[in-house]
Amino acid sequence: MLRLYTHPSCLQHDPGPGHPERPARLRAVLDALDRDRFSAIDRIEAPQATREQLRRVHDARHVERILACTPAAGESSRLDEDTVMSAGSAEAALRAAGAVVAAVDAVLGGTTRRAFCAVRPPGHHATGDQAMGFCLFNNIAVAAAHALAAHGLQRVAIADFDVHHGNGTQAIFEREPRVLFASSHQSPLYPGSGREDECGVGNIVNATLPPGAGSHEFREIWDGVLLPRLDAFRPQLVLVSAGFDAHRSDPLADIRLSHEDYAWITERLLAVAGRHAGGRLISTMEGGYALDALASSASAHVRALME
């Protein structure tokens, strides 16, 4: 049975009117997953991540800076041009990171083989010492580090199909050979990283898509470049940064995917997990800013996870 981790606190992170990373994103996904065909999902309330878990990938000063930033109700604090904290942001960030940690424990403990974390704020732009790109803590990196430290895994793969490059995830693990980071993303586009010659210690695999690319190009780089590298790595656990902003309707990028493409890549990643990781796969929300497209894409992703 698929487990879904979420928490009401993730709706209380409010960057303010007009901000793309708004609470309505998570509401759209949860509403879509509240239909009859998703009734078999085991829904779990996400715990808070601990400071120890966060400090495996983040500088202690960064952790305390985020947790100490508690604007008064109705006010906000801007960390950079795009990244804003409200009164509920620190709690939401703790629950978002805690969701993926709990999912790792459940999957590696044999309670379930697959999990989806419907959380926000997203995480893959957050570096070890900096919040950026709507991200406070790097949720997927916290999960990978927990799998290494608490469960003794030696090969953890992170697959990132968000339209923006997961610069934070890459920076955190680019010298860690036990983690393979495989990313497809539009280039040029924010944050400007993710060139194909950025290889870390041989554990970073970037595949770029030009503006206007669609399903054919997306599937070609996964089938031809990224999935073979994932297979060669033989991961003991597959983690997924599930960004749905490469959809043709998304306002922040120029890739032309549909919800069927998200079902396709999910099935391919499940096949990798089936061959090497006993089927163990955990996915967590990243981007996706057109609400209808986000809901349909996340639904397609979760349906594939349930099969």
| Burial readout 240-271 (b: 16 or more C-beta within 10 A, e: otherwise) | bbbbbbbbbbbebbebbbbbebbbbbbebbbe
Per-residue pLDDT of 49-104, as tens digits, reads 999 999 999 999 999 999 999 899 989 999 999 999 999 999 999 999 999 999 99
Is the pLDDT score of 6 beyond 90?
yes
Per-residue pLDDT of 13-38, as tens digits, reads 999 999 999 999 999 999 999 988 99
Per-residue pLDDT of 257-276, as tens digits, reads 999 999 999 999 999 999 99
Per-residue pLDDT of 130-141, as tens digits, reads 999 999 999 999
Per-residue pLDDT of 192-229, as tens digits, reads 999 999 999 999 999 999 999 999 999 999 999 999 99
Q: In residues, how long is the chain? A: 307
Q: Calculate mean pLDDT across residues 240-251.
A: 98
One-letter amino acid of 210: P
Residue 70 confidence (pLDDT): 87
Q: How confident is the model at residue 126 (pLDDT cuts 50, 70, 90)?
A: very high
Question: In CATH, what class is 3-306?
Answer: alpha beta
The answer to whether residues 135 and 121 touch, using CB atoms and an 8 Å cutoff, is yes
pTM of the shown model? 0.98
Cα-based torsion angle of the residue sequence 290, 293, 299, 305 in order, rounded to the nearest 10 degrees: -90
**From 13, 62, 125, 165, active-site residue:** 125
Phi-psi domain of 130 (left: phi exceeds 0; alpha: psi -120 through 50; beta: other): beta
The answer to whether residues 284 and 242 touch, using CB atoms and an 8 Å cutoff, is yes
125 as an active site residue: the answer is: yes
Number of neighbours of residue 59 by Cβ within 10 angstroms: 14
The DSSP annotation for 63-121 comes to HHHHHH--PPTT--EESSSS-EE-TTHHHHHHHHHHHHHHHHHHHHTTS-SEEEE--SS
Number of neighbours of residue 295 by Cβ within 10 angstroms: 21
For residue 242, the SS3 value is strand
The DSSP annotation for 42-60 comes to EEEE--PPPHHHHHTTS-H
User: Within the chain, what is the greatest distance between any pair of CA atoms?
Assistant: 50
